[in-house]
Amino acid sequence: MSEKRKPNNFLDLAQWSRRDLDGVLALAAELKADPAKFSQSLAGKSLAMIFKKSSTRTRVSFEVGMFQLGGQAIFMSSTHTQVGRGEPLEDTARVLSRYVDGIMIRTYEHAEVETLAQYATVPVINGLTDFLHPCQVLTDIFTIQEHLGISLSGLKVAYIGDGNNMANSWINAALQFGFDLKIAAPDGYEPDAILLERVRQQAAGGGKVSVVNNPLIAAQEAQVLNTDVWASMGQEEEAESRRQVFAGYQINEDLLKVAAPEAMVLHCLPAHRGEEITAETFERFQDLIFTQAENRLHVQKALLVTLLGD
């Protein structure tokens, strides 16, 4: 990837070219195969990590990733910094840009990530918002390529459950990488309407996206089945009502019977066994699911080298 074409931020898959995304995936494979080769790639570089949402995988993978690349990560909780006391993100962005080489944020409102990127003079990475989770879906694409070893063009992917940030991110991935995506969600819980309108207007990568209410239809001949929790962080008060609404939207052995013989199951974790996925199916695919979790480290290291590297 030439310096001239190098992207400035990673907020949304749709903002990157297919060529640049493929470059990150190829670099992630190199980093996973030979991490020692890149042990000083970000020597002397620092990453500020702003967390308004709690985290296990995002924090550890970015923090360890920076360490393995020779740099350092600085954890910033909203409860222990001026961010949580009302300092505008515009000011936070400008201050941090004087101290660090990059900023990662995990928050609720997507507008906050965009504001941070607008005012920062260093690269900004979207670690998660209520609208999108691009680091996770890029990791999922990497895991699919690694496991199935086939072209993404024409791949059949099913997403079962809430039309949340993961469903939205899968839509962007389908358009960028050119695979077929079927999302099964209950009425009223479909993915973002503006994003679905974009699907109808643009399918430059050749991807096809459809939303159905029947999980069996979505899973028909699918090579990849994936899901997420029924109640995301911040929706705890809706958890009980959502259990009733989503009762039929579960990845289980019955769903796998209509999927392709080589079907793989993904879950971005944490998993609520007995809700969005059965314990039986989770354990059947647990090695793949935890490889998927591990791959967050490799893919995010590739992003960090791409964005922060010289």
Q: pLDDT tens-digit profile of 229-257?
A: 998 767 777 888 999 999 999 999 999 99
Q: Is the domain of 120 the same as that of 176?
A: no
- More confident of the two residues 214 and 202: 214
Q: Is the domain of 53 the same as that of 89?
A: yes
In this predicted structure, the answer to whether residue 204 has a pLDDT above a threshold of 70 is no
Which range has the worst mean pLDDT, 107-121, 146-160, 224-238? 224-238
Q: Is the domain of 144 the same as that of 72?
A: no
Look at residue 268 and tell me if it is in a domain. yes
In this predicted structure, the answer to whether residue 22 has a pLDDT above a threshold of 90 is yes
Look at residue 6 and tell me if it is in a domain. no
Q: Is the domain of 275 the same as that of 148?
A: yes
User: What confidence score (pLDDT) does residue 200 get?
Assistant: 74
In this predicted structure, the answer to whether residue 156 has a pLDDT above a threshold of 90 is yes
User: What confidence score (pLDDT) does residue 151 get?
Assistant: 87
Nearest residue to 143 (alpha-carbon basis) of 300, 295, 278 = 295
Which range has the worst mean pLDDT, 75-79, 123-127, 130-134? 75-79
Mean pLDDT along residues 98-126: 97
Mean pLDDT along residues 202-226: 88
User: What confidence score (pLDDT) does residue 80 get?
Assistant: 78
pLDDT tens-place string over residues 268-303: 999 999 999 999 999 999 999 999 999 999 999 999
Q: Is the domain of 172 the same as that of 286?
A: yes
Domain containing 151 — which CATH number? 3.40.50.1370
**What confidence category does residue 165 fall into, taking pLDDT thresholds of 50, 70 and 90?**
very high
Q: Is the domain of 34 the same as that of 107?
A: yes
Look at residue 46 and tell me if it is in a domain. yes
pLDDT tens-place string over residues 58-93: 999 999 999 999 999 999 987 778 877 778 999 999
In this predicted structure, the answer to whether residue 7 has a pLDDT above a threshold of 70 is no
Instruction: Report the domain count for the chain.
Output: 2
Q: Is the domain of 168 the same as that of 30?
A: no
Active site residues: 106, 133, 136, 228, 268, 296
User: Could you list the residue range(s) of the whole structural domain that residue 184 is in?
Assistant: 136-292
Q: Is the domain of 146 the same as that of 287?
A: yes
Could you tell me the CA-to-CA distances from 244 to 126, 241, 248, 276 in Å, in that order?
A: 32, 5, 9, 12
Look at residue 2 and tell me if it is in a domain. no
User: What confidence score (pLDDT) does residue 112 get?
Assistant: 96
User: What confidence score (pLDDT) does residue 78 get?
Assistant: 79
In this predicted structure, the answer to whether residue 174 has a pLDDT above a threshold of 80 is yes
Q: Is the domain of 243 the same as that of 257?
A: yes
User: What confidence score (pLDDT) does residue 83 get?
Assistant: 77
- Mean pLDDT, the chain, rounded, equals 93
Look at residue 7 and tell me if it is in a domain. no
User: What confidence score (pLDDT) does residue 206 get?
Assistant: 65
**What confidence category does residue 205 fall into, taking pLDDT thresholds of 50, 70 and 90?**
low
Distance separating alpha carbons of residues 240 and 242, to the nearest angstrom: 5
User: What confidence score (pLDDT) does residue 82 get?
Assistant: 82
Could you tell me the CA-to-CA distances from 191 to 11, 66, 159, 211, 214 in Å, in that order?
A: 18, 33, 11, 8, 15
User: What confidence score (pLDDT) does residue 262 get?
Assistant: 95
Q: Is the domain of 53 the same as that of 199?
A: no
Across-strand partners of 291? none
Look at residue 75 and tell me if it is in a domain. yes
Reduce the DSSP state of residue 250 to 3 states and report it: coil
**What confidence category does residue 199 fall into, taking pLDDT thresholds of 50, 70 and 90?**
confident
User: What confidence score (pLDDT) does residue 2 get?
Assistant: 40
Q: Which residues neighbour 231 within 8 Å (Cβ) at sequence distance 6 or greater?
A: 162, 238, 239, 242
Which stretches does DSSP call E strand in 27-71? Answer: 46-51
User: What confidence score (pLDDT) does residue 203 get?
Assistant: 52
Mean pLDDT along residues 191-197: 89
Q: Is the domain of 32 the same as that of 104?
A: yes
Q: Is the domain of 77 the same as that of 176?
A: no
